[in-house]
Chain A
Amino acid sequence: MDIPYTVHARPDTGLYNAKVGIWLFLASEVMLFGALFSAYILLRVGAPEGFWPRGWLNVPVGTINTLVLITSSITTVMAWASCKMNQFGRFKFFHACTILLAITFVCIKSYEYHDKFTHYEVIFKDGRIADGHIVKNDPKADSVTISGHFVADRKELFDLVGPNAHHPHEEIRIPRDQILRMERYGPWHHTYLAIYFTLTGLHALHVIGGAIVIGFLWGPGSRMWKTDRERFTNRIEVSGLFWHFVDLVWIFLFPVLYLI
């Protein structure tokens, strides 16, 4: 006996096996990201007044990334539709776009990460606080240079969208012996950044994983087109469902982390 319904739908469920499998898998993914989103809510609600940051992320960059992912969802549908319409060349084109868009997304995301990892908060021994991006940080030199500004109260750092948010940036040279603590905007810096890096990091892993699968189906995996057209189209559909889910997660991530 062979395993039935690997390619064709079972009449009473209307689904082939892999489609049931991917929907179940996505259900578990919903619970995974759902738990992280509820963690976000709990951390945000539990933060003291004025200590949950606003405007730490670059909204235009995030918007571009959102558009990149939405476009990739469209090309994914088109790729699948091309398979259905027996147009292999068009499939190749559209999924090439999907893969390029995925790479674009990851590059933009790395740029954003890089921006956070070069951003420092410096606390002086005399209590002053400076904040800005690193310009020069030679471990042998006796000073560090950042491009930023001084703040009177640490609370000012948390609100970058309010009326008093915009400070002129200047180059600040800080002698090392005056530094009490110097910390970059990594996940350890604030629970907001912790959940930001965890959520977007996990999402980026999903993007990379999805791109690898789609890349395989686009490249060596596409040989199946010649031998088993229907099954190949099913694979494109199943991987496409995963890809749409990954996009959907971002559609939730973007407003939650960037806008509100």
Chain B
Amino acid sequence: MHNHEAHHEDAGFWRTYVFSTDHKVIGIQYGMTALCFLLFGFCLMMVMRWQIAHPGQPIPVVGPLLAAILGEVAAKGIMAPDLYNMFGAMHGTIMVFMAIVPLAFAAFGNYVVPLQIGAPDMAFPRVNMASYQAYVIGGLIMFVSFFIPGGPAQGGWTSYSPLVTSIPTDGQTFWIVGMVFLITSSLLGAVNFIATIIQLRAPGMTWMRLPFFVWAQFVTAFLLLLAFPPLEAAAIMQLMDKVAHTSFFLPTGLAVGGNLAHISGGGSPLLWQHLFWFLAHPEVYVLILPAMGIVGEIIANNTRKPLWGYKSLVYSVLTIGFLSFIVWAHHMYLTGMGIRIATFFQTTTMIISIPSVIILTCMFISLWGGAIRFNTPMLFVMAFLPMFGIGGLTGLPLGFGYSDIHLHDTYYVIAHFHYIVAPGTIFALFAGIYYWFPKMTGRMMNEFWGRVHFWLSLIFMNCIFQPMFAQGMAGMLRRMADGGANYSQAKVPGAIGGLGANIMGLNTYILWAAICLGIGQIPFIINLFWSIKHGKPITSDNPWQATTLEWQTPTPPPHGNFATAPEVHRGPYEYSVPGHSTDFTPQNEPEAPKPGTRIPVPELA
């Protein structure tokens, strides 16, 4: 075997850090870029929360800056409704497609999956690099659209036609082109992940010996592979509507601004919604499954017990993957679909909650009787469980057509899915960062500031999203630039169903909670960068005393990952095996040969 490390050093700065084909570098590139977008998307929302709490008043601190950069829509530091729409659309787009998916799927998947299956790299390293580059290009196109005349897309992250086609600015065109790049990036990544997991498992790594995280990524990759192309098709058609003036999504007799539009007509606005949600519902599981995978790894490691019901977890993830393709129209109950169709989608929606509950239950039971180590990753994971529970259970009323009629498009929906994605997925991602950081850098992140970060995040996440349930049930609609002021009792005294002062008052409370949440992230950002150079050095390659293969490599793993090709002899979570000298048995530790027996030859895969 020739010396890969020396080969790697020779490659030079650009080839090593910018145009690298090494899965670990690409994983870190994805992670850093996605974290930047996560912060950016959060900042957009903080500005929007000011507008919601104090509509029409100049934004403090950043107001003059926005006025200088964005011009008229932020004149005198006051947020125009158009700007609110732009920020809203871009907040959703950035968070879903440029922050969470790249972080959960591409960053963690790239860094951890090849290590966990005992592979030297991904199956197609250059495709992997192309995937990251497509992501950066897509992200740049989205980012640049903030500065073009007319600003970025403003039709919501859902981009419903004919609304977005009739907005006369170029923002939507940028959005579509950017999306095509992001979709391409995800497709290349998905092909690579599936091929890697099928082909590059180390000898002895059978399917039922795969760590749960790998299973989660495997199913996620299939969701991306099969759900994204329909959105790409829809994006192509919307681009045709926008640029070639076709009428895919524009109905006959469409009037824009009171005038009959010069179009051929004959298109279907519902077609866009179907194609969009055919992606966007599996996308929800793309957001949550990698998080569940991370949670499984950290729970097993910190309870020092095998995951309870490993097989149930695997089959549940597979079931979710399949069912997530046949629930999409529960986002569309209010489009006037027939009772029969609605019943079908209500039924599938209720069925998909069963495997989700199985996963959550297995995770909870795994805690039972464990000698739990409460370190920072474990704290985030322990918070993930109830937070995801709240998010999941509050989704049930939205899955039923009748209750959804009341709750549709209200703040209740926002609270529901943010509970899944923010204190759910993002908490799991934080946990993953704290957990795998020592493998990436050879140093631990600071434990005290990690805990500060955890408690501030937990408290203020709940302060932000819990009140939104109340606002939504009171009837406050989402996507209103004035935060519901026009529908308040204060504006129209005595109106039936008008929003009361207590409900409106929550807006101010949420604003301050959001600001505190932002402040609560500062310890994390400093901790992340400070620990790269100054964190406590780890004394072993396996600081958490874990069983899975990524910890059985040098730290940080060299190009090619393993010093010697690993062979796998056991399942992923053999913790506290009676009679073993330590409370963990790594997957590549050979079976102790019984006297008089032959050493077992590992079967391939």
Contacts and interface: CB of A to CB of B under 8 A. Distances in A.
Interface of A: 1-5, 10-13, 15-18, 20-21, 24-25, 27-29, 31-36, 39, 42-43, 46-47, 51, 186-191, 194-195, 197-198, 202
Given A3-B200, A17-B199, A31-B229, 17 more contacts: A1-B561, A3-B123, A5-B200, A16-B199, A18-B124, A20-B195, A21-B195, A24-B191, A24-B195, A35-B229, A39-B237, A39-B271, A39-B275, A43-B271, A191-B248, A194-B246, A198-B237
B58 interface: no
Contact of A28 (B4, B195, B225): B225
22 contacts: A2-B120, A4-B200, A13-B198, A18-B124, A20-B194, A24-B190, A24-B225, A28-B191, A31-B226, A31-B229, A32-B233, A33-B233, A43-B271, A46-B266, A187-B246, A188-B246, A191-B248, A194-B248, A195-B248, A198-B236, A198-B240, A198-B248
B230 interface: yes
Contacts of A15: 199
B199 A191 contact: no
B297 interface: no
Interface secondary structure of B, over-half rule: helix
Contact of B268 (A34, A42, A188, A198): A42
A43 B267 contact: yes
B61 interface: no
Given A3-B125, A13-B198, A191-B248, A43 B560 contact: no
B247 interface: yes
B187 interface: yes
A42 B269 CA distance: 11
B118 to A, nearest CB: 9
A1 B560 contact: yes
A31 B230 contact: yes
Contacts of A42: 268, 271, 274
B268 A46 contact: yes
Interface string B207-232: 00000000000000000011111101
Nearest to B251: A46
A5 B199 contact: yes
A1 B264 contact: no
B57 to A, nearest CB: 44
Contacts of B271: 39, 42-43
Nearest to B197: A20
Interface string B248-270: 10000000000000011111100
A111 B62 CA distance: 57
B121 A188 contact: no
A32 B234 CA distance: 9
Contacts of B123: 3, 17, 20-21
Interface in B579-605: 604-605
Contacts of A4: 120, 199-200
B562 interface: yes
B245 interface: yes
Contacts of B267: 43, 191, 194
B244 interface: yes
Contacts, number: 142
B199 A10 contact: yes
Contacts of A187: 240, 244-246
A22 B317 CA distance: 25
A17 B114 CA distance: 14
B103 to A, nearest CB: 22
Interface in B154-199: 187, 190-192, 194-195, 198-199
A35 B328 CA distance: 14
Nearest to B118: A1
B579 to A, nearest CB: 32
B123 to A, nearest CB: 5
Contacts of B200: 3-5, 17
Contacts of B236: 36, 198, 202
Contacts of A198: 236-237, 240, 246, 248
Size band of the B side of the interface?
35 or more
B246 A27 contact: no
B248 A25 contact: no
A189 B248 contact: no
Interface in B270-318: 271, 274-275, 278
A202 B190 CA distance: 22
B68 interface: no
Contacts of B240: 187, 194, 197-198
Listed residue (A10, A35, A189) with the most chain B CB atoms within 10 angstroms of its CB: A35
A36 B268 CA distance: 13
B358 to A, nearest CB: 27
B328 to A, nearest CB: 12
Contacts of B192: 21
Contact of B229 (A28, A47, A186): A28
B459 interface: no
B552 to A, nearest CB: 13
B191 A29 contact: no
Contacts of A51: 266
Nearest to B241: A194
B125 A12 contact: no
A18 B200 CA distance: 12
A12 B195 contact: no
B77 to A, nearest CB: 42
A12 B605 contact: yes
Contacts of B234: 35
Given A188-B246, A194-B247, A39 B233 contact: yes
A198 to B, nearest CB: 6
A7 to B, nearest CB: 12
B553 to A, nearest CB: 11
B124 A17 contact: yes
B565 interface: yes
Contacts of A16: 199
Given A21-B192, A32-B232, A10 B121 contact: no
Contact of B560 (A2, A13, A18): A2
A31 B226 CA distance: 6
Nearest to A15: B199
Contacts of A5: 199-200
A3 B22 CA distance: 12
A197 B1 CA distance: 54
A189 B246 CA distance: 7
A39 B244 contact: no
Q: Which of A11, A12, A16, A202 counts the most chain B CB atoms within 10 A?
A: A12
Contacts of B265: 191
A34 B248 contact: no
B88 to A, nearest CB: 27
A20 B198 contact: yes
Interface centre among B120, B263, B266, B562 (most CB of A within 10 A): B266
